[in-house]
Chain A
Amino acid sequence: MAHGHAVKRYSGLMDWLTTVDHKKIGILYLIAGGFFFLVGGLEALLIRIQLWKPLNDFVSADTYNELLTMHGTTMIFLAAMPVIFALMNAIVPLQIGARDVAYPFVNAIGFWTFFAGAVLLNVSWFTGSAPDGGWTAYAPFSGSTFNGDHGFDYYVLGLQIAGIGTLVGGINFLVTIINMRAPGMTFMRMPMFTWSVFITSALILFAFPALTVGLAAMMFDRIFDANFFDPSGGGNTVLWEHIFWIFGHPEVYILILPAFGVISEVVSTFSRKRLFGYSSMVFATILIGFLGFMVWAHHMFTTGLGPVANGLFSIATMLIAVPTGIKIFNWLFTLWGGSITFTSANLFAVGFIPTFVMGGVTGVMLAAAPADFQYHDSYFVVAHFHYVIVGGLVLGLFSGLHYWWPKMFGRMLNEGLGKLTFWTFFIGFHLTFFVQHFLGLMGMPRRIWTYLDGLGFNEMNLISTIGAMLMGLGTIFFLLNIVITAFKPKTAANDPWEDGRTLEWTIPSPAPEYNFKQTPLVRGYDAFWKEKMEGHTEMTPAEPIGSIHMPSPSILPMIMAIGLFITGLGLMYSHGEWGKIAGIEAGYVVGGIGLIITFTCMIIRSLVDDHGFHIEPEELQDKGVKA
């Protein structure tokens, strides 16, 4: 096949375990993220069932705290992030006219380490103790003095391993976007989704290392008896809050920016209009990313930082409303004067705009520190962040999935079921969370296992639980849609929505292994639309048809992740649980074996050069690229 380099190519399950193809990795991210979205959703439903009436004892107080912790942690790290990564992987290289990402091998490492960490975290359910101190893991409650079981060991090690995957993923996409754009694809011609992924990746790069340090310090506290956050050893609990939120606030923007990108693409496509104020959108995205690092202490107004810090962080937080407002109005004026068609993707996008505004305005309300003394840690905050994360991010992801499904799988999702998904999920969402604003203002703290009767909380909690059931129903409709679609033939056209504007719609659905038979020449913003308006049906190629170099598949990324998984598990059980081997804690021995596995893989990767293989022009013709 190639220049004498025989490369073993796998099929079936081995193909998926060894793949370095960004489109397949995207699908792996989608499957794993989707699975954990269901797990987190189930946890949410159990929470809502417990709270449907006062003094309920459907679950015990301990279990409830585990549920709320795992719900938050799962949804943010194991559901939202991977589904975002799924769209990034599936779409960004196509949008910039690239054949691949910068580091296909590292991309696979990113997925498998995320998956290993995610599984490790959830193993805690089966070993008797899931973490139970909230996804924020405030010390000293998360420390070994008050949490002697292994719950938070799973938290620190699971997230640490998953975090490695996220960090390398972020670097991969930064380099891909900087170095791999097609000729003519200048930064100011990049589609908005790619821009948002670019900024999100930069945020990942600068935010996740803080979490790495925080988790390492907490792990040292728990496993090696260090004193970072233990007041009795001179440690400082507020330090954890700072480290956590220096990561945690940018994380919020890491989550929401890709949704902004999706909405920009969908709204523009389905109103047949160029995105209004493209350059101000880019500028606003950059500004939001920048300000995202300046506002972490608004999560800590009641911690006791003093009036100067509280005042500064109040004002800095309010400032974020300005670039966000710019985005909202740009979307509305993209729709204005357009020819809008309400596909299910666009329903989610159009539903997103007012919903996200509601979450945004409560965000500005929370920014006023003295008023936040009342809102903080009440159900008002719960309502706020679900409005931005579910009403914002999740609606955005649903929109993106309905929009790009044909590009990822070659099949169109059923529009009727898609609309049913939207309406049940959307109505359920507002039922669930709108009333929670009032619960909070009426004095209901968040993270409470149960509430007393006669406090006036009963009716709204009942409404909220009914809403949650509806959201669950919406999710079931979506799953049903996926299953039904999977049995249909792969008939989606290159440009199935017919109004596609960007490069991913110029190639077959699903995209072939090599993405572009010929690298396209980009002549302006909305590259494909520009060609269409000039009467062309496809892009002008920037190169003649030639042989295409592809990276080899490899099983090493998965083995590396398994090594890390073993290390994590071993470190946790290093206090005599597993006895001793040759005088050393068995846990350490197991941990060491895991590290050796991982490092051996790294050494093999470094020593054995990957020459990849080539797809020759004759093969390209064989694959029958659709006109």
Chain B
Amino acid sequence: MNRWQFFRKLAPLLALMVLVLSACGRSDLSTLRPQGPVAEEQFGLMKLAISIMLIVIVVVFAISFYVIIRFRRRPGDKTIPKQVEGNHKLEIIWTVIPIILLIILGVPTIQSVFNLSKDHTKDPEAVKVVVTAHQYWWEFEYPELGIKTAQELVIPKGKTISIEAKSADVIHSFWIPSLAGKTDANPGANENIMYFSAPKEGVYLGKCAELCGPSHGLMDFKVKSVDEASFDRWTAALKAPTSLPSDPAIKEAFVSKCLTCHAVGDQGGPAFPNLTGIGSRETVGGILVNTDDPKYSNEGSTYDNLHRWIKDPQAVKPGTLMPQVDLTEQELDGIAKYLSELKLDYEQ
């Protein structure tokens, strides 16, 4: 009996908690569940702002409801209320209090503005990455390590990652909600810098945040934070020679139809996503999630996803520059199989 009443009292509270938690989103995607110091600093500012604003809202709502209920006209009431011109004391109060609230918010804002704009491009401790956005994929170049990859930004955990962002075509915006706020990737000379770090290992979702074309909403990428030894193995594996398909027919098709645009290891063209290690990436095309236990229509095994993507890229990402390549069924199967097995063995 007692216990029942206790739960009955607790139930609304629990429901509220569930609602609040579900409203926070996924930990690898939500700004409300920051996973690194930059996002945490931004979340701190958000929390401060939300708290101040809640005070304002509560005051305004309270006065509104009081006024609406207390001063409603009774039927047939013909009286004329007192015509008040104003009240200097009150008017000063509601001028000064907002100013004070704004100072409370403004000071940490300014501190944070300068803190988050620190330039780490010369920091010897930082890992430098040049991010080049393309319609609808991301190119990641590590100039100091001499490597280039696409769609998946692999980083050593805990280290500062110094980003230089630019675009090869239209304006995009580089955003990893759970790690750091966004910075625009501009074409031309307006390059931007930012930095972030991920103290914990894990995979974080990145997104394009500036309308860039039909597949803007599908221009996702991943940030994969690994321990330093794995990162070193990854960079080494990326530079190591890569073998082409063993079947000569598949090899011929792959070289003549894929490597004209894409690169694998030291072979092929640099203009489009580098395919080295594509088999061990989290996704194909940024949005087809590789998993052995598919739940949603955008999930499948690495092989299935590659097959689906190569077969009809426009169906997956409308407007992508990847054409529907003229391949026989065997060639398609063979290339998808080859690519799905093109793995980099760096994680333990």
Interface residues of A (CB under 8 A from B): 54-55, 60-62, 64-65, 132-134, 138, 140-141, 146, 231, 235-238, 271-274, 276-280, 302-304, 306-307, 310-311, 314-315, 318-319, 321-322, 325-326, 328-330, 332-333, 335-342, 350, 353-354, 357-358, 361-362, 364-365, 367-374, 376-378, 438, 441-443, 445-456, 533
B residues with CB within 8 A of A:
22-26, 29-32, 39, 41-43, 45-46, 49-50, 52-53, 56-57, 60-61, 63-64, 67-68, 71-73, 77, 79-87, 90-91, 94-95, 98-99, 102, 105-106, 109-110, 112-117, 135, 169-171, 173, 175, 177-178, 180-184, 186-192, 205, 207-218, 220, 287, 289, 295-298, 318-319
Alpha-carbon gap, A60 to B314, bound state (A): 11
> Which chain B residues lie closer than 8 Å to A361 at the CB level?
53, 56-57
Closest 8 CB pairs of A and B: A373-B181, A448-B217, A442-B25, A231-B188, A61-B214, A361-B53, A453-B296, A304-B192
- For A231, the chain B residues whose CB sits under 8 A away are 187-189
A-B contact pairs, 26 of them (CB 8 A): A55-B296, A138-B211, A140-B170, A141-B212, A141-B213, A146-B169, A231-B187, A231-B188, A237-B188, A237-B190, A273-B81, A278-B86, A304-B186, A314-B109, A325-B56, A337-B81, A340-B71, A364-B102, A368-B45, A441-B32, A442-B177, A443-B207, A449-B218, A450-B217, A452-B296, A455-B29
The distance in angstroms between the C-alpha atoms of A376 and B25, with both chains bound, is 18
A60, B318: Cβ atoms closer than 8 Å = yes
**Contact in complex: B211, A133 (CB < 8 Å):** yes
Query: In the bound complex, do residue A310 and residue B113 qualify as a contact, i.e. CB atoms below 8 Å apart?
Result: yes
Q: Find out whether the CB atom of B84 lies under 8 angstroms from the CB atom of A276.
A: yes
Q: Is the CB of B113 within 8 A of A307?
A: yes
Give the CA-CA distance A325 to B208 in the complex, in Å. 35
- Determine whether the beta carbon of A456 is less than 8 Å from that of B25: yes
Task: Find out whether the CB atom of A318 lies under 8 angstroms from the CB atom of B177.
Answer: no
A339 touches B209 (CB 8 A): no
Task: Tell whether, in the assembled complex, residue B68 and residue A350 are in contact, meaning their CB atoms are under 8 Å apart.
Answer: yes
Q: Given the complex, which residues of A lie within 8 Å of B42, measured CB to CB?
A: 370-371, 373-374
**A445 CB contacts on chain B under 8 angstroms:** 175, 207-209, 216-217
CB distance from A281 to the nearest CB of B (A): 9
| A452 and B210 within 8 A (CB) | no
Contact: B94 with A325, CB < 8 Å? yes
Query: Which residues on the A side are within 8 Å of B180 (C-beta)?
Result: 373
Q: Is the CB of A449 within 8 A of B177?
A: no
- A333→B93 CA distance, assembly (Å): 13
What is the CA–CA distance of A377 and B113 in the complex, to the nearest angstrom?
18
Give Cα distance in the complex from A271 to B72, angstroms.
8
Our pick among A271, A319, A333, A441 for the contact of B102 (Cβ within 8 Å) is A319
Given A322-B99, A335-B68, A442-B25, A377-B81 contact (CB < 8 Å): no
Contact across chains for B110 and A338 when beta carbons are under 8 A apart = no
Q: Which residues of A contact B218 (CB under 8 A)?
A: 448-450
A146 and B213 in contact (CB under 8 A), knowing A373-B116, A443-B31, A443-B178?
Answer: yes
Q: Which residues of B contact A330 (CB under 8 A)?
A: 86, 91
User: Contacts A141-B170, A442-B25, A452-B298 hold; do A365 and B50 have CB atoms under 8 A apart?
Assistant: yes
Contacts of B68 in A (CB 8 A): 335, 340, 350
Complex Cα gap A319–B45 (Å):
18
The reply to whether A368 and B71 form a contact with Cβ atoms under 8 Å apart is: no
B residues within 8 A CB of A325? 56, 94-95, 98
How many A-B residue pairs lie within 8 Å, measured between CB atoms? Answer: 312
Q: Decide: A373 near B71, CB < 8 A? Known: A311-B113, A443-B30.
A: no
Q: How far is the CB of A211 from chain B (nearest CB, A)?
A: 20
Give the CA-CA distance A276 to B67 in the complex, in Å: 14
Chain B residue numbers with a CB within 8 Å of A364 are: 49, 52-53, 102, 105
Q: Is A376 within 8 A of B182, CB to CB?
A: yes
* Distance, CA A276 to CA B23, complexed state (A): 40
Closest chain-A Cβ to B212's Cβ sits at a distance in Å of: 6
The reply to whether A365 and B216 contact each other, CB–CB distance below 8 Å, is: no
| Bound-complex Cα distance A351 to B69 (A) | 14
A277 to B77, CA, bound (A): 25
Collect the chain A residues with CB atoms within 8 Å of residue B95's CB.
322, 325-326
B85 surroundings in chain A (CB, below 8 A): 274, 276-278
Q: Do B105 and A368 have beta carbons less than 8 Å apart?
A: yes
Q: Chain B's nearest CB lies how many Å from the CB of A276?
A: 6
Q: Whose C-beta in chain A lies nearest to the C-beta of B172?
A: A141
CB distance from B162 to the nearest CB of A (A): 15
A333 CB contact (under 8 Å) in B90, B110, B215, B295: B90
Q: Nearest residue in A to B317 (C-beta to C-beta)?
A: A61
Given the complex, which residues of A lie within 8 Å of B171, measured CB to CB?
138, 140-141, 237
Closest to B102 in A: A318
Q: How far is the CA of A313 from the CA of B79 in the complex (A)?
A: 49
Q: Which of B180, B208, B211 has the most CB of A within 10 A?
A: B211
Specify the chain B residue showing the minimal Cβ separation from A353: B64
What are the residues of chain A within 8 A of B135 when measuring CB–CB? Answer: 146
Q: Please give the distance in Å from A155's CB to the nearest CB on chain B.
A: 14
| Given contact pairs A332-B64, A354-B61, A361-B56, A318 touches B117 in the complex (Cβ within 8 A) | no
Contact indicator A237/B187 (Cβ below 8 Å): yes
A319 to chain B: closest residue by CB: B102
Closest to B72 in A: A340
Q: Which of B43, B71, B177, B295 interacts with A336 by CB under 8 Å?
A: B71
CB of B282 to closest CB in A, whole Å: 13
Q: Are B186 and A302 in contact (CB under 8 A)?
A: no
Most buried by B among A276, A332, A358, A373: A373
- Interchain CB contact under 8 A, B216 and A322: no
A357 touches B60 (CB 8 A): yes
Given A61-B214, A339-B81, A364-B105: A374 touches B90 (CB 8 Å cut-off): no
Q: B60, A304: Cβ atoms under 8 Å?
A: no
- With A138-B171, A373-B181 already in contact, the answer to whether A280 and B91 are too (CB < 8 A) is yes
Report B267 CB to chain A, min CB distance, Å.
Answer: 30
A332 engages B39 (CB within 8 Å): no
